[in-house]
Amino acid sequence: MAKISYEQLSKDIIKNVGGEENVAGLRHCVTRLRFNLKDESKANDDVIKNLDGVVTVVKASGQYQVVIGEQVADVYQEIMNQTNLDGSQPDDSQQEDHRSLLDKFIDFISGVFQPFLMALAATGMIKGLVALLGAFGLKADNSGLVFILNAAGDGFFQFLPIMVGLTAASKFKMNEFTALAIVVGFLHPSIREITTGEVQQVLFEGTAFQLDSFFNVLGIPALLPGGGYYSSIIPIIASVWFGSKVEK
């Protein structure tokens, strides 16, 4: 597809989603333009589906998704050049949101994980390669190549909370560096080390909900996951959400 086609296709897409003024937010993933439209009824589905370069239109997760294929990044960039859109998330405080709770939840999860999805897939492939080499007897302790690949693959997953903190800050309209200040506290080595120490108090002892507490905060037992917060998701999102409320 030549560049001139990107220009025309971008104009046609914007025109048929109801114009720039109908777009509350726009992002893209590997194959799709993901529009958050103020009024989906203004979009002309049939015209968009029949545009040269468009595969189909999908309405899911509260988004109007235009499937482009591998050229999606070029079309997205052309739309950015032609319009005043900035690729941001829609500001729910400035528009009425008719989406269901499920759609809002799916859109939130998509917004948190989609920005680093390709990097996540790449590191997953590296881990797969490490496992394959391991089947041939190559381990991190006897192969420098496997040692490096293992570190490259593990690093992203181990510090996943940092990636989640950044994208969650964007969703919650929070200063990203403030969010990082919160997240890196979870990853301090002492937090992981203390979970290998002596248990100070056992909560719900003798039940299926038995929990170990390694220290108290103002007399309140503090609960920590066994391996610390490396690779954690939910505590990070919850903390950034709370931080965004405090920041405002």
Domains parsed from the chain with CATH numbers: 3-98 (3.30.1360.60), 117-247 (no CATH)
What's at 156, amino acid-wise?
F
Task: Give the pLDDT confidence score for residue 243 in this predicted structure.
Answer: 95
Question: Is residue 150 a contact partner of residue 140, using CB atoms and an 8 Å limit?
Answer: yes
Q: What is the pLDDT of residues 54-70, one digit of tens each?
A: 999 998 877 899 999 88
State yes or no: pLDDT of 229 exceeds 60.
Answer: yes
Cut 0.75: pTM above it: no
The three-state DSSP-derived secondary structure of the chain is CCHHHHHHHHHHHHHHCCCHHHEEEEEECCCEEEEEECCHHHCCHHHHHCCCCCCEEEEECCEEEEECCCCHHHHHHHHHHHCCCCCCCCCHHHCCCCCCHHHHHHHHHHHHHHHHHHHHHHHHHHHHHHHHHHHCCCCCCCCHHHHHHHHHHHHHHHCHHHHHHHHHHHHCCCCHHHHHHHHHHHCCHHHHHHCCCCCCEEECCCCCCCEEEEEEECCEEEECCCCCCCCCCHHHHHHHHHHHHHHC
- Angle (nearest 5°) at CA 75 between 71 and 80: 145
State yes or no: pLDDT of 216 exceeds 90.
Answer: no
- Sequence-distant contacts of 221-226: CB under 8 A, at least 24 apart: 224/191, 224/194, 224/195, 225/195, 226/195
Q: Give the least confident one: 7-16, 29-38, 54-63, 206-215.
A: 206-215
Question: Is residue 168 a contact partner of residue 148, using CB atoms and an 8 Å limit?
Answer: no
Task: Give the pLDDT confidence score for residue 2 in this predicted structure.
Answer: 45
Biggest CA pair distance of the chain: 70
- Phi, psi (degrees; rounded to nearest 5) at 66: -105, 115
For residue 193, give every residue at least 6 positions away whose Cβ sits within 8 Å of its Cβ, in sequence order, or none: none
What is each CA distance from 72 to 14, 36, 54, 69, 203, in whole angstroms? 14, 17, 10, 6, 52
Q: What is the pLDDT of residues 91-144, one digit of tens each?
A: 554 445 566 777 778 778 888 888 888 899 999 999 999 999 999 989 888 889
